[in-house]
Structure 1
């Protein structure tokens, strides 16, 4: 199969049905444009622009709320819909029984698509939340089960992520939204230092996602994104970067195609092999997409 035929993997998007589950975070005024239900078919309809000659062929859906029930719903969806190839779910990492919770999730409908967990650390005020003994035990339980962990922190919380990588080298990590660099302010000094420290740990990957919502929503340009891109490319290299849309959140700052066009412009300066890593191979490896049953994979191709 050629690189182009392999298609594009969107390593980070969300879905929600407001009739089935509330999303209280959408009450913020900035999120008014996305205060409605979003389905996989909506993603198919909006993701029309190719990146590096590839069109969307697979996706990783990521939890939104701290709910095991939501994770169960996303897993069941992955079992039904051929576009969704992996799920990043949620379970209470501080729960002494988190390993058993994960085991039950994996035994349920679509449970084989659970590849990682995530917690909204960005909302935690404890500067050492990821170092709490109970949380570390929960994260170790993920590593024992071969799962990864999606790290969602703000730029000022990146030292927690660095300590996590140091203390649990056996746990595969991916930094969501590049650690939320303060693009709108233009001061990347602290973020740059901590991202480089995190990237020094080989078990850590990074998502090129969520950057437009850290910039000025109405006026950002590729020039605003490029300084962050250059740091990520130097720190992680193409082999540990993966494209993510952060759709539908990105709708508030231009939408799926506009962000895809920007990423396409940036990766267009790289070799075909480096492009392949960022738009497909890194996500495929981290989320073990190639381990899906063959019949399931065949169903995603045109």
Structure 2
């Protein structure tokens, strides 16, 4: 079995910082701390060898905390952090993050675009300048957007062609309603650009949490596979948010079933290779074990070199 890269998960400690988006009764199960100690046994049981830790709040202090956490743990191979893209000194801020403990594991930047009232936020001149700085730093940019914001995401990808844009959760399609359009049309336009990648993640929480089935998810996964291909699609658990609809193992099992028609190489891309290339993760994380007797679930030892540039992969 090829070891798996989980390209999208979160962590938070409510004693350090409130997660102000955790409001209402529906999100009550998430209103507690989620640590690497919680994630590690779930990841090990699933055969996950490396992961990408993704920002949750637009607070500058979170990213240094995540980098320090990654520096001390072999499981977190990369961090997608946050910085203010509109700041005039954004390039300097990115460089400063790289100098921090664990800074070599900074692989991307993300902003909560889904919460921006302006549907064209991504193509504002100050934002595009910030996106260009992200690209110049050799980092990817994660997009957490709603379907109506996909047009601006596509325009941004065209405007900054040297930036790799990673679409989280397939742009949050309306799985619960079963509708495909206009999400499908917008997704295809985004995927038609060569500097775009997407995550097969977050679908279970866009579905009916209590009653979702694989057939509910399949039209969206099939369309993403058709539009991006396995070499531009990567698995992400979206843990612990996924717990609203399914435990970690069931999310992974669903992703396996949704990609069961792929051949061995294509599955290896979705469950590791794409993330390694896109984020510049250590290549050993997505390589098959050297023998059938070797364990698929032991965490990486954290001693290999990491890179931050997509242009010069260490593998």
How far apart are the structure 2 equivalents of 1:288 and 1:136? 23
Unaligned runs of 5+ in 2: 285-299, 306-315
Q: TM-score, normalised by structure 2?
A: 0.89
Q: Answer with 283-292 or 211-220: which moved more.
A: 283-292
Q: Distance in 1 between matches of 2:4 and 2:42?
A: 14
Contact 1:48 1:257 in 2 (8 A): no
CA contact (8 A) 1:49 1:261 kept: no
List runs of 5+ in structure 1 lacking aligned partners: none
How far residue 290 of structure 1 moved from its aligned partner, in angstroms, is: 2.5
Out of 22, 26, 30, the position equivalent to 1:30 is 26
Q: TM-score, normalised by structure 1?
A: 0.93
Of 192, 217, 225, the residue aligned with 1:225 is 217
- Which residue of structure 1 aligns with residue 7 of structure 2? 11
73 and 195 in structure 1: CA distance in 2 versus 1, 3 angstrom threshold: same
SS of the residue corresponding to residue 197 of structure 2 reads strand
Larger mean Cα displacement after TM superposition, 163-172 or 27-36: 27-36
Question: How many pairs does the alignment contain?
Answer: 290
Aligned residue for 1:161?
153
Please give the root-mean-square deviation of Cα atoms over the aligned residues, in Å. Answer: 1.6
What CA distance in whole angstroms lies between the structure 1 residues aligned with 2:256 and 2:16? 35
What SS does the aligned partner of 1:289 have?
Answer: coil
- Larger fraction in helix: 1
Corresponding residue of 2:258: 266
- Measured after TM superposition, the shift of residue 81 of structure 1 is 0.5
Distance in 1 separating the partners of 2:15 and 2:203 = 29
Provide the rounded CA distance (Å) in 2 between the counterparts of 1:242 and 1:45: 21
Distance in 1, matches of 2:36 and 2:138, equals 27
Q: 2:77 — aligned with what?
A: 85
Verify the 8 A CA contact 1:116 1:150 in the aligned structure 2.
yes
State the Cα distance separating 1:44 from its structure 2 match.
1.4
* Matching residue of 1:235: 227
